[in-house]
């Protein structure tokens, strides 16, 4: 499963890219607003750090406007992926852009039917938001399972399932168990994936025992 980092924070992206775990980045208007920085500057900076897909969301709601915005955004770098909302205008835009070999991420997906529509529109990625479903006491992971099953029924579907609105390490694990293609993960959750008390305890014991030998590997 590919790991994208779900943030527009350059410091976090730089830091996490150094781990070698970052295959791409997703941003949205809320994440960009949080940085207080210029959208184009942020995207340029991210694309200079990460060579994989970098999602940049349009803000127009009509297809012509989305296409005009997409033109400006794709000019930033080759790895810009245009993010469109799951509306009829978004799907129309998706169809046009992907037929021109522009990568498209269809966002704000909350049902398997919506995911099917996005696949029919040729989406590169579909972004089901699992955390927001869980917030309503619905089952976000069940949606990922359904989309996986639907997509696997048809060889012609190449759309990748990009699990979004991830809130916990268990969301990442469950996405991988289901066979999602990508998880876009908030920086704090990505950092937390490595944590295990037994790893820390085991390492401390190894180092303490090594100390007792009085040896050094380098001398």
Largest CA distance in the chain: 71
How far is residue 100's CA from residue 75's CA, in Å, rounded to a whole number? 14
Q: How far is the CB of 147 from ligand G3P (least distance, A)?
A: 16
Which range in 39-47, 109-117, 126-134, 208-216 contacts ligand G3P by CB under 6 A?
Answer: 126-134
- Within 129-148, the residues that bind ligand G3P by CB under 6 A are 129, 131-132
Which range in 11-19, 72-80, 124-132, 139-147 contacts ligand G3P by CB under 6 A?
Answer: 124-132
Question: Is residue 49 classed exposed, middle or buried when 0-12, 13-18 and 19+ CB atoms within 10 A define those classes?
Answer: middle
Task: Name the E strands within the chain.
Answer: 2-6, 24-26, 54-57, 80-85, 104-109, 125-128, 160-163, 182-185
Nearer CB in complex with ligand G3P: 95/132: 132
The answer to whether residue 95 is catalytic is no
Nearer CB in complex with ligand G3P: 7/197: 7
Backbone angles phi, psi at 161, to 5 degrees: -85, 115
**Catalytic annotation, pick one of 2, 83, 92, 173:** 83
26: contact with ligand G3P by CB under 6 A? yes
114: contact with ligand G3P by CB under 6 A? no
Residue 162: HSE in the Cβ half-sphere, 13 Å Cα cutoff: 31
When binding is defined by CB under 6 A, the residue of 165, 174, 175, 190 that contacts ligand G3P is 165
Which range in 125-133, 137-145, 175-183, 187-195 contacts ligand G3P by CB under 6 A?
Answer: 125-133
CB-based contacts of 195, cutoff 8 Å, min separation 6: 169
Backbone angles phi, psi at 60, to 5 degrees: -70, 155
28: contact with ligand G3P by CB under 6 A? yes
Nearer CB in complex with ligand G3P: 16/164: 164
Q: How far is the CB of 184 from ligand G3P (least distance, A)?
A: 5
184: contact with ligand G3P by CB under 6 A? yes
Cβ neighbours around 104 below 10 Å, total: 27
Do residues 61 and 29 make contact, with C-beta atoms less than 8 angstroms apart?
Answer: no
Residues that bind ligand G3P (CB under 6 A): 6, 26, 28, 129, 131-132, 164-165, 184
Which residues are identified as catalytic? 83
């Amino acid at each position: 499963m590919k790991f994208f980092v779900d943030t527009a924070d350059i410091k976090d992206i730089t830091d996490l890219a150094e781990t070698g775990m970052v295959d791409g980045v997703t941003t949205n208007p809320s994440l960009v607003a949080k940085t207080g920085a210029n959208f184009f500057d942020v995207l340029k900076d991210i694309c200079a750090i990460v060579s994989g897909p970098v999602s940049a969301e349009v803000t127009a709601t009509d297809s012509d406007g989305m296409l005009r915005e997409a033109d400006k955004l794709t000019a930033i770098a080759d790895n810009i992926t245009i993010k469109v909302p799951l509306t009829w205008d978004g799907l129309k835009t998706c169809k046009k852009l992907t037929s021109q070999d522009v990568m498209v991420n269809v966002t704000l997906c909350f049902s398997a039917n919506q995911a099917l529509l996005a696949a029919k529109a040729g989406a590169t990625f579909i972004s089901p938001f699992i955390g927001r479903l869980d917030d309503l006491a619905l089952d976000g992971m069940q949606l990922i399972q359904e989309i996986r099953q639907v997509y696997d029924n048809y060889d012609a579907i190449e759309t990748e399932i990009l699990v979004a609105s991830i809130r916990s390490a268990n969301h990442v694990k469950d996405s991988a168990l289901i066979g999602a293609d990508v998880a876009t993960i908030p920086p704090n959750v990505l950092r937390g994936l490595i944590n295990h008390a037994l790893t820390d305890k085991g390492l401390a014991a190894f180092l303490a025992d090594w100390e007792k030998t009085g040896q050094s590997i380098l001398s």
